[in-house]
Structures are given as structure tokens and as C-alpha cells.
Amino acid sequence: MPSSSPRDSGVLAPVGVFDSGVGGLTVLRALARALPQEDFVYLGDTARLPYGTKSPGSIRRYALQAAALLRDRGVKCLVVACNTASAVALESLAAEFAPVPVLGVVEPGAAAACAATRAGRIAVVATESTVRGGAYQAAIRRCRPDAAVVARACPLFVALAEEGWTDGAVVEAVVHRYLDDLFLAGADTRPDTLVLGCTHFPVLEPALRRVLGDGVSIVDSAQTTAAALTGVLDAAALRRPAAAAGGRIALLATDSAERFARVGGTFLGRPLAPADVEVVDL
Amino acid sequence: MPSSSPRDSGVLAPVGVFDSGVGGLTVLRALARALPQEDFVYLGDTARLPYGTKSPGSIRRYALQAAALLRDRGVKCLVVACNTASAVALESLAAEFAPVPVLGVVEPGAAAACAATRAGRIAVVATESTVRGGAYQAAIRRCRPDAAVVARACPLFVALAEEGWTDGAVVEAVVHRYLDDLFLAGADTRPDTLVLGCTHFPVLEPALRRVLGDGVSIVDSAQTTAAALTGVLDAAALRRPAAAAGGRIALLATDSAERFARVGGTFLGRPLAPADVEVVDL
């Protein structure tokens, strides 16, 4: 529908959500639930996933290309749902896309961890690049300077989630191998909070909870990112009025619509068909 | 050293070897052992790995770009060490690079399987794209029309090999989950030969052998590709004379030299330093 002014166009424009693949659909799901009147355009850079094992330079270049495509689609705000891109490329993206607000998932994830921890001992599981970049560790210490933070790269969690093996003996064996030395430590040193620092990991939460037990709070960025997005849209007067309710979700991918639909359904929490996915070139 | 004619230059030129990442180093290792007088240039497209979950169009585009870089380096022959690219893009590569000979790993792997099987029942483990493309199944049936071939996508094997988890409880649990239904079948239907249809998989061979037992022959493309390369070089009169012995190996990657060196050592079978790897842009 034609807009009467650029300002109206901004309000009615969709929110852009970007991820390296399908994992960010866990974030999209939380955003759409928290802001049901908004339209969303989600882009998964599936032709070049995963970002988590790549170098900072490559990640930055890929993220800027993906964000440019979403800007061309007229988004009013950009959510970087990929932890790796948030950890490595957020400043570059914000500088490039000002005045369009850019929101990452690392700060909201760190805030969730600081809210959940009792003893201030926090473990972060993430991809190699996210762990090496140290963004989570820094963000947690900014909000809780006395926190004891340990970060561990768990790349096989990504493969398990993509394969749809979210439960059972294999997942539990992998969890034990990655995390036993951290969580079998003495009661006065073991973390009381685990941050899922990769958008693929929330689908593994039941298995993680079973292995780690009730004493550990498991948090991810999805809920707090939704709260942060609400704040950003309100602050910029960009929130869509309830009277102009949208609720549409457009899904874009840079590779096979078939695979995006098949694997993505696990993360979005509802079945997807290839026809729901538009393939774009970066 | 300056060459006296294009023909001499051809003979002394290096062999190009291309893979999506570091897995092809298992093939390079076999080639360099079989042809110790040759020079090799290996390119791993690590910025865009893995290929195995991507669409045929993306795989073809990436493979052509990688091969063009090797052609610019003056290679006399191109070995496509990546099973996925061999299965999907070999015809495009051969057409584009004629008269430079292009050799894939699927036909040699299929030949190895047909030589090893007694009962003609062959299982192929590979990436999603390789299995879907059907190239192994077709190549095996060309050399043994009565073969019973079953192909299974095992994407987690790639992640395990990249993580360096080549043995132990996790690997065995994954092998059981992927393969038990095939190999626990009756003695008159279970495969007697397993083809490792991905260059990452040879590092998992001890674990596979332990789970599957002695009754199953495990074959891969590396040895037969070395034999095929010898044949191709001889046929084109491109084999380097022993008197001009080279033996140099140049390693190129499209992303982080540090990661290539760290993970690649497992596959090449000797330690690598980041300084051994030249980073190139495609």
C-alpha cells in the first residue's frame, strides 16, 4: 500500500533479520511472537554457511553483502541474528548502515546471562570464531565485572542441529565430551549459567538440560533480543501501529530453497515448504 | 627456470589439486607418494566450505572459480579431490579447461569398490549433495551393472573429522546411528564393501573398521586416483622426468591460514604451520 510520507514508510517497513543460515530462525520466531504486528524479512546466507569456522575478514565481508541486500529491500531496522556475525561484524554493520538501527544478539545474550547467574560463574558455548573473538566474554564483564566467564567452542553442536539429531545418545555423548570438565568441577567453581551463544543451539536445550541437571540455568539470546528490538523500535518511533497490523514473514536464502525448508522447519518450529523460500544471489 | 618450449613448460608444470577445504589433503598425500617427482599446487576453498550441503548450481560456480585460479598458476593437469565437486561439476570443469586434463575422484573410487566387492553389494557414504547427485551409484553400475548399491549421506562425519574427533565413543555412536540398519541386515543382503565417498572420511577409517568388523572392505579414492593420475600424465606425455625431480607442494586456501594448518595436519599426515599456507581470494 502506498505510503503518504517517508516517515510512514519507515514505520510500515519490515524488520530485517540476517543469519548465516537457518539457525537464526530461532531468533525470528521469538521476535515475531513478541512483535506480532511487525513484518519481517529473513535472509539466510546458506550458500556460504557456516560463518563460525571462517576468519573475521571473510565474516565481515559476507555480513556487509547480506545486510546490503536487506537494505535494498527497505528494512527499517536490522537484527543480526547470527552470533558469529554479531561478535565479529557488528561495528562495521552499524557504521555502514547508519541511521538504520543495527541490533546484534551478543549483548542481549550477555544480559540474559547476567540476569540468570547467582554466583557469577558463566559458561558460554559458541562457534570457534565467536569464542576466539571474545565478544561474549567482554559483554558479560561489561555488565558484571566480577563474573568468572569461560567460553568453549562446540562446532559439532551446529552439525547435530543441522542434521536434526537434537536428542538421544549421540547428542549426550557430544555434550559430555565438550562440557564434562567444566561442569564436573567442584561445587564452588562450576558455572551456574550456560549461555547458548549460537542460534543453532536452542534446539539442543532439552539434551543439555538432561546432561547438566537442574542446577544450571540455560539462557539464549532470543527472548532478550526481542525485548531489545522492541526498545529500539520504540526509541526510533518505528514501531508499527496495531491498526496497520502486518505479521508477514518473507524468507530469503542464498542457496537451495529445498534444504532451507527441510532444515529450517526445526528451528522455526513449524513446517516449511520450498515455495515459502525465495532464493537470492549475493 | 626458463623453459625452452611450451611443451617443456607443460612437463615441468605442477599438478593442480582442488578441494572445498582440507579433506582433499588425504588425496594429495596419496598423489605425492605415488608421484614423488611431481610438483603440486593444492587449493582449499575454505572460505566457502562445506560444498556437500550446497546446491549443484553453487557448487559448479565455486568449482569453476577455484579451477580458474589454478589454471592461472599454470597447472598441467587438474585433480578435483572433492567428491562433491567431482560428482556435480566434473563435466563443466572438463569442458571449461580442455585441453588441460581434469580428473575427478568418483570414477576412481567406484573402480576401487568394484575391485574390492565379492558379492557385488556396495554401500557408499558421502555428503548430501554427492548422494543426491547419484554419481557414485551410476559410476559403480557402469563398471559392474549387477551391483546392488546403497548410498547414505553422513554429514556429521565431516564435522567429526574437522574437529579431530576421529576415534572414541562419540564417533562410534555416530557410525552406529548412520549405518546399523544397513550392516545389521541379513548376511545375504548386507554390503561387503564400503566406499568412503568424501575426502574427510579416511581419517575415520579405524573407527569404521572397528564398528563394521572384518567382513567389510573399506575403500576410498586416494590410491586409485593416484593410479589414474599416473595414467593421465603418461597418456598426455606430461609426466615430469626423474632427472628434473621436483617434489614441491604449495598450499593455497581462501580463508584463515591458521585454521587450515591446524586442521589440515590431520589429513596430510604431518604437522603444518600457518606460514606453509598462502591465502588467496576467489
| pLDDT > 50? residue A6 | no
Q: What is the pLDDT of residues A181-230, one digit of tens each?
A: 999 988 889 999 999 999 999 999 999 999 999 999 999 999 899 999 99
For the beta carbon of residue A203, count every other beta carbon within 10 angstroms: 22
Reported confidence tier of residue A266, pLDDT bands at 50, 70, 90: confident
| pLDDT, chain A, mean | 93
Query: Which cell numbers in the block locate residue B167?
Result: 576415534
> What pLDDT sits at residue B152?
97
| pLDDT > 90? residue A165 | yes
Reported confidence tier of residue A7, pLDDT bands at 50, 70, 90: very low
CA B46 from chain centre, in angstroms, equals 15
Residues of chain B with pLDDT under 70: 1-9
Q: How far apart are CA B153 and CA B157, in angstroms?
A: 9
> What pLDDT sits at residue A139?
96
Q: What is the average per-residue pLDDT within A276-281? A: 96
For residue B59, the chain A residue with the least C-alpha distance is: A47
For residue A48, the chain B residue with the least C-alpha distance is: B48
> What pLDDT sits at residue A9?
54
> What pLDDT sits at residue A252?
98
Pick from A129, A156, A176, A282 the residue to mutate for testing the B interface (most B CBs within 10 Å): A156
Interchain pair A259, B55: CB under 8 A: yes
pTM score: 0.89
For residue B280, the chain A residue with the least C-alpha distance is: A58
Q: Roughly how many angstroms between the first and final C-alpha of chain B, as a whole number?
A: 28
Contact residues on chain A for B165, CB-CB shorter than 8 A: 156, 177
Strand partners, B19: B44
Q: How far is CA B187 from CA B144, B195, B217, in A?
A: 21, 19, 15
- Cβ distance A151 to A113 under 8 Å? no
Q: How far apart are CA B105 and CA B27, in angstroms?
A: 9
Q: How far apart are CA A124 and CA A198, in angstroms?
A: 9
Q: How far apart are CA A54 and CA B237, in angstroms?
A: 40
Q: Which residue is catalytic, options A77, A82, A114, A154?
A: A82
> What pLDDT sits at residue A75?
97
Active site residue A114: no
Query: Which cell numbers in the block locate residue B93?
Result: 570443469
Contact residues on chain A for B58, CB-CB shorter than 8 A: 47, 255-256
- Cβ distance A147 to A120 under 8 Å? yes
SS (H, E, C) chain A: CCCCCHHHHHHHCCEEEEECCCCCHHHHHHHHHHCCCCCEEEEECCCCCCCCCCCHHHHHHHHHHHHHHHHHCCCCEEEECCHHHHHHHHHHHHHHHCCCCEECCHHHHHHHHHHHCCCCEEEEEECHHHHHHCHHHHHHHHHCCCCEEEEEECHHHHHHHHHCCCCCHHHHHHHHHHHHHHHCCCCCCCCCEEEECCCCHHHHHHHHHHHHCCCCEEEECHHHHHHHHHHHHHHCCCCCCHHHCCCCEEEEECCCHHHHHHHHHHHHCCCCCHHHEEECCC
Q: How far apart are CA A216 and CA A208, in angstroms?
A: 10
Interchain pair A156, B160: CB under 8 A: yes
pLDDT above 70 coverage of chain A, percent:
97
Q: What is the pLDDT of residues A89-137, one digit of tens each?
A: 999 999 999 999 999 999 999 999 999 999 999 999 999 999 999 999 9
| pLDDT > 50? residue A42 | yes
Tell whether the torsion through CA atoms of A45, A46, A47 and A49 is positive or negative: positive
> What pLDDT sits at residue A215?
92
Q: How far apart are CA B184 and CA B161, in angstroms?
A: 24
pLDDT higher for B4 or A52? A52
Query: Which cell numbers in the block locate residue B8?
Result: 617443456
Q: What is the average per-residue pLDDT within A143-165? A: 95
Phi and psi at residue A220, to the nearest 5°: -135, 180
Q: Kindly tell me the burial class for residue A130, based on how many C-beta atoms sit within 10 Å of its own C-beta (0-12, 13-18, 19 or more).
A: buried
- Cβ distance A14 to A39 under 8 Å? yes
Write the residue in A53, A169, A259 that is nearest to B259 by C-beta: A53
> What pLDDT sits at residue B9?
53
Q: Kindly tell me the burial class for residue A248, based on how many C-beta atoms sit within 10 Å of its own C-beta (0-12, 13-18, 19 or more).
A: exposed
Looking at CA atoms only, how far is residue B54 from chain A in angstroms? 6
Interchain pair A163, B169: CB under 8 A: no
Interchain pair A158, B159: CB under 8 A: yes
Query: Which cell numbers in the block locate residue B120?
Result: 557385488
Q: What is the ipTM of this complex?
A: 0.85
3-state secondary structure of B221: coil
Phi and psi at residue A44, to the nearest 5°: -110, 120
pLDDT above 90 coverage of chain A, percent:
88
Report the phi/psi class of residue A127: left, alpha or beta, with left for phi > 0 and alpha for psi in -120 to 50: beta
